[in-house]
Structure 1
């Protein structure tokens, strides 16, 4: 009876989610098809420049390109023709090269998926290392000292393109252990997989490390310890209990490893899907851009379905039958170690900002280019001779304000859409497949390049991790026995939402947002580096990283200074907030 009762409402939910995925995918492909017409530049001029680098084509040449591409027919005719050819294996021909699109996208997808698998392996190993101590001590009932989470915050804040540059330089050039560029075999995958997987693994591991203490404080874990069950057995089941709440974060991670790894692909000269999509978008080469977007949508949808199936397999019948044991709700407390860490990071950042504000961030001295740290320039100078300490200090407020605003907007949007889990599930899966760079190109085409345009682009796609996490935690919470008890006592939906569901979502969402704060800064920086966001000479931290990345070998201090400031900000954000210290039962 319970099985039939539990599966009856699941069918409409699956239909709603499927319709959401189809509708969101169609809307995304339609928006991509409008890119040349939304652009403030003539698409014929952009294509012609991509073909021949001719900066001043004649009107006759432009007219010939417009007629060849059929730009007068409008975007919907092009979209219909492209969709009509897909069932026959024809994705059109490139507007720039004139070559068939499908072989290019298939080859790039194969490279990206291979790199993704390697990066996922690194992600899993790093995540396991981050939460290993909590799992081991918690299973033995010895988890007493407070965990600051500093290690996970530092690793998660590492800029992937800076880490890629350092790995390419150290492992590829200095030591010669692995190829420093190209895609010639399994050895070519090691360094880029490390650059992509280490920060992602730290983020996933940090979230899992936050969820494990609650699972280890459940009554079954205490009972098993009392009767003498092996700690390894308890640890395995605690991991199975906590993992479903973190698994949805793998979906945006997978997409970021495939479509959002543009900077890493460029540093290592990897012909992946993200690089292909970005080059096609910049050149307004519509057929490969549409095909690459479709590949990302299909990949994201497949990954979302696999994650959902794995979550349900881990939770078992209790989730379907509404009898899932409820996780203890943690008491929120900031202990001494966390306070000391937060104070130290805060004082270091304050010293950087105050001393930097006393200097001129725009003063150019070509005779002082790339000077190392000295009393005159405590953090050195950049390639134009500008003082790095001054640029860090003046860019602090702008960087943190925009990143916090974007993170807060994304978390709030994700929370609201995650609460409507049935209607938002399909939309979340599709939006999670869209790289922020592509969103930035679409927004910039309509609004022009600006910092707030880049922020809008990040907000447009940045809510999906929070929505996926909210929906997963909400499903588990609703299946708990305390919810059934509250309903049997006459509690209404509003009461259950206010007293049970929202308090259970608050701490995990906050932790997720804080761990993603440095990523937001770096995504905004990448958009600015491509000319879609903050424009020079603005002293924004992420832009400082992007501008100085080419000088990491010659003058490493130019990149390390903003990277260390970003790490300090991340550690401060994680340690300054209250986090679970010990478990209590639901009230």
Structure 2
């Protein structure tokens, strides 16, 4: 009952916050409406007061919230402040397009995850390499642009723009599904060696069971700990696909919400945000149902013991080599001036003077990438460490963090940045605040799932029966079992955090030019990707190296193996 009341309180607070956006925003809504109706008209105070009276913005927060909630009950989401059209049909059409794109992208993601795990399943638990990290770290907007330019325009195999039929869903779904599938595959591939190392696998092999049956049961064994987090990917693909929808000109929910936030069309922004919250709640419920179907109706959520990955330690040379590459880029680029202009050297290919080439203004790309790393990479690392600590602490309190994480999961980083911009205005701190507000939730969810599994382990029951206290179990049993996999999860998400910051910069939220932040690098060079591909491939390659470094380093964060009983 307490959990239900806490969930209801959080949901109510979130809905009320959405309903009060016109009252919370620092931007005068009357000024927004005036610019939409008569762009050249001066903002006369009497005219602004008349618009506020017409929109009934001076009624106070309680009346404003009550009127909005009452309209939703009647099926009336209001009218757009800019176009005057009914908000409900507009948002529903956008939601339908996003759901279709999400469904196809989810199928692509599942196929990609299966390919990533195929080597581990075939080899009976010996985990494969970290090549999927390269795919996982490709920005969605960059992948979308490359697919649209090469496959859609140059080769002409599939449509590059528009949303008019099934053929138009292929390229956007690939741009969304491939990175998500790579991340899912890595998380699954990280747990499979522990499943293959359990005693039941040796017994099954001794009985002569086919390898295919053992692999299928191993996948089923690791799914309960991963399914609760799948809702995050569903919400991310729906609400965080703003850039992909813009590249392919898809009238989806993310693009509609972004345009409404940038134009301060708050009725559309309110309804779009509410749809994302409801979608997240449905996704979380479906994930819990999937856990019950996989585990079985006779078992509770905590009845599956934890896995302890027992793979061989990763080769130390791989992460050291990748770290050396990143350090070499920084060492070579930091002494250069990232703002020096040379119009005579515009869009020059890589050479001795400019190892990564130059951009459209003749600026050295190596210098801009290296200096941008100080803004993007270091900020992403700091946010990852903070998210890891917050996720572990909140994950130890499942009754508090469970409902809170479900609520936060409904807000992708892009949408969080839009809400921050709508309330507090834009600025360099907007991406950091938006990412920090949501990055802890996946780690807290993972921590809760691992704790439920670990508490069901027989050795923990025996230790408790011998008189061990709560703090002893936490320090010597639970934390050693939970911290390493959650730390690996945080490392796996480090490139995603950097990509989230870059994506917000790409969308124009946060620091402004001439900042060398990686998102700005990709955004400002995107129009030249076809004629000067090095302008986008160079920062993308650095992000891919970062992803491979995170994955190979995560493989070394292992729980110490238990001594075999004598």
Same fold (TM over 0.5): yes
Please give the TM-score of this superposition, normalised by the length of structure 2: 0.94
Moved more, 576-585 or 45-54: 576-585
2:499 is the alignment partner of 1:540: no
Write the deviation string for residues 416-475 of structure 1: whole angstroms up to 9, x where unpaired.
222221232222112111122232233345554333332122111111111221122222
The equivalences for 1:184-583 within 5 A come to 184-316=164-296, 319-320=299-300, 324-328=304-308, 330=310, 334-336=313-315, 339-445=316-422, 447-577=424-554, 578-580=556-558
What is the alpha-carbon distance in structure 2 between the residues aligned to residue 326 and residue 241 of structure 1?
10
2:57 is the alignment partner of 1:71: yes
Q: Residue 31 of structure 1 corresponds to which residue in structure 2?
A: 17
Q: Residue 112 of structure 1 corresponds to which residue in structure 2?
A: 98
Cα–Cα, structure 1 residues 88 and 157, in superposed 2: closer, same or farther, change >3 Å? same
Write the deviation string for residues 315-346 of structure 1: whole angstroms up to 9, x where unpaired.
23674296534433547x6443xx22212212
Displacement of 1:247 in angstroms is 1.4
1:357/1:393 contact within 8 Å kept: yes
2:47 is the alignment partner of 1:61: yes
Displacement of 1:349 in angstroms is 1.5
Displacement of 1:234 in angstroms is 0.7
Gap regions ≥5 residues in structure 2 = none
Q: Residue 3 of structure 1 corresponds to which residue in structure 2?
A: none
Displacement of 1:263 in angstroms is 0.4
2:454/2:460 contact within 8 Å kept: yes
What is the alpha-carbon distance in structure 1 between the residues aligned to residue 529 and residue 6 of structure 2?
45
Displacement of 1:505 in angstroms is 1.7
Question: Aligned residue pairs: how many?
Answer: 564
Moved more, 364-373 or 35-44: 35-44
What is the alpha-carbon distance in structure 2 between the residues aligned to residue 534 and residue 330 of structure 1?
44
What is the alpha-carbon distance in structure 2 between the residues aligned to residue 216 and residue 583 of structure 1?
15
What is the alpha-carbon distance in structure 2 between the residues aligned to residue 55 and residue 169 of structure 1?
41
2:495/2:550 contact within 8 Å kept: no
RMSD, aligned α-carbons: 2.2
Residue 463 of structure 1 aligns to a residue in which SS? helix
Structure 1 stretches of 4+ with a deviation exceeding 6 A read: none
Displacement of 1:168 in angstroms is 0.8
Cα–Cα, structure 1 residues 529 and 497, in superposed 2: closer, same or farther, change >3 Å? same
Write the deviation string for residues 23-65 of structure 1: whole angstroms up to 9, x where unpaired.
2222223323343444333221123324454474443432332
What is the alpha-carbon distance in structure 2 between the residues aligned to residue 22 and residue 55 of structure 1?
45
Moved more, 69-78 or 289-298: 69-78
Cα–Cα, structure 1 residues 322 and 86, in superposed 2: closer, same or farther, change >3 Å? closer
Displacement of 1:185 in angstroms is 1.0
Moved more, 188-197 or 364-373: 364-373
Cα–Cα, structure 1 residues 77 and 550, in superposed 2: closer, same or farther, change >3 Å? farther
Moved more, 571-580 or 259-268: 571-580
Please give the TM-score of this superposition, normalised by the length of structure 1: 0.91
Residue 462 of structure 2 aligns to a residue in which SS? helix
Residue 291 of structure 2 aligns to a residue in which SS? helix
